[in-house]
Amino acid sequence: MSASSKIDSYELLLTQMEALLVSNWVSNLANASALLWEHFHTQQKPQSEVNWAGFYTYNSSKQILELGPFQGKIACQIIEIGKGVCGTSVQKKQTQLIVDVHEFPGHIACDAASNSEIVVPILSENQEVLGVIDIDCKEINGFDQVDQKYLERLASLLASKFEN
Amino acid sequence: MSASSKIDSYELLLTQMEALLVSNWVSNLANASALLWEHFHTQQKPQSEVNWAGFYTYNSSKQILELGPFQGKIACQIIEIGKGVCGTSVQKKQTQLIVDVHEFPGHIACDAASNSEIVVPILSENQEVLGVIDIDCKEINGFDQVDQKYLERLASLLASKFEN
């Protein structure tokens, strides 16, 4: 699969997501998980080896990440800020593009099959964390700058419809 | 696959769900979707042909069902009470076991591949609707009384941890 078709597929995903947005945050994350799963599984390796695609939402009163809608196998329900790839992404308010999760200090292994991961923070207009997009891949080096760019655009789109 | 192994798989699902329950309702529905997906895809036909497994939650102020966590392809975000199989299940507060969705008046076709469906209401102790479990199958006659029995037990388990 060429780089342009990966880009085309992401562009389609964003167009579809925009059309699907409703006022319910959980509904949006649920359909976004389905679109992400579909997107990755129309790609070639390593992206077709994505084994988890979904969301953690930020509970500001408890200051933890809580499991949201996803596609894949059962996952950890609670992640502390600063812990693992998701918790680090929230603490730094930055995307974490992890080539090999086994080299990430304090990696939380929900699914032993995962070898690489990308986590993108979902930030409000005033830079408050609303949650994260979390994608795991069975292959090492599953994600690149193209994924980062488009997943950050997806995060912005989802943030625009946030309601608590 | 024999009937007993279907029962064994459901018993395992309930045990796993009980162990996974946390105070966050969305997290519970997200992991329940993953367990249901895993369960059906370890079965033989017709159950291995399940193409959507997840939840709609009841918005009591708007009096509508809203899309919750699920596994499968993108789905309708809002269902009115009394409409389609999900809306009928809420209106009647009863499980709907639909052998062929094309014969169900007013069936809402989110995925054209679906041919049979089971919808189980999630009811509080005082019989208020909290949401529904919704499972679609590509085969006609995908579900039976065993599914009804175990999905109703799953609904009770999830209701016991409901928080708004």
pLDDT digits (tens, 9 = 90+) for A10-31: 999 999 999 999 999 999 999 9
pLDDT in tens, chain B (164 residues): 555 699 999 999 999 999 999 999 999 999 999 999 999 999 999 999 999 999 999 999 999 999 999 999 999 999 999 999 999 999 999 999 999 999 998 888 777 889 999 999 999 999 999 999 999 999 999 999 999 999 999 999 999 988 76
Q: Does A26 contact B70 at a Cβ distance shorter than 8 Å?
A: no
Containing structural domain, residue B146 = 3-159
User: How high is the mean pLDDT of chain A?
Assistant: 94
β-bridge partners, B28:
none
The domain spanning residue A142 has which CATH number? 3.30.450.40
CB < 8 Å to A71, chain B: 71
Domain-embedded: residue A134: yes
How high is the pLDDT of residue B107? 82
Domain total of chain A: 1
B64 belongs to a structural domain: yes
Task: Mark yes or no for CB contact A24/B71 under 8 Å.
Answer: no
Residue A14 in domain? yes
The confidence score (pLDDT) of residue A112 equals 83
| B116 phi-psi bin (left φ>0, alpha ψ -120 to 50, beta other) | beta
Q: Is the peptide bond before A105 cis (omega within 30 degrees of 0)?
A: no
Number of A–B residue contacts, CB under 8 Å: 85
pLDDT at A32 (0 to 100): 98
- Render the burial of B27-44: b for 16+ CB within 10 Å, e for the rest: bbbbbbbbbbbbbbeebe
Of residues A4 and B97, more confidence is placed in B97
Could you report the predicted ipTM of this complex, rounded to two decimals? Answer: 0.95
Q: Reduced to 3 states, what is the DSSP secondary structure of residue B72?
A: strand
pLDDT at residue A109, rounded to an integer: 76
Sequence-separated (6 or more) residues with CB below 8 Å from residue B2: none
Task: Judge whether residue A71 has pLDDT over 90.
Answer: yes
Does A89 fall in a domain?
yes
Note whether residue A75 is domain-resident: yes
Residues of A in contact with B27 (CB under 8 A): 66-68, 77-78
Q: Is the predicted pLDDT of residue A110 greater than 80, yes or no? A: no
Q: What does the pLDDT read at residue A107?
A: 82
CB-CB: which of B33, B68, B73 is closest to A26? B68
- Chain A residues with CB under 8 Å of B34 CB are 70, 72-75
Question: Residue B114 has what pLDDT?
Answer: 92
In a domain, A106, yes or no: yes
Residues from A in contact with B at Cβ < 8 Å: 16, 20, 22, 24, 26-27, 30-31, 33-35, 38, 54, 57, 59, 66-75, 77-78
How confident is the model at residue A4, as a pLDDT?
65
Residue contact A26–B54, C-beta within 8 A: no
pLDDT tens, A83-104? 999 999 999 999 999 999 999 8
Residue A8: is its pLDDT beyond 80?
yes
B164 domain residue, yes or no: no
Q: Does A164 fall in a domain?
A: no
Strand order, beta sheet including A129-137: A78-80, A64-72, A50-59, A129-137, A116-123, A96-98
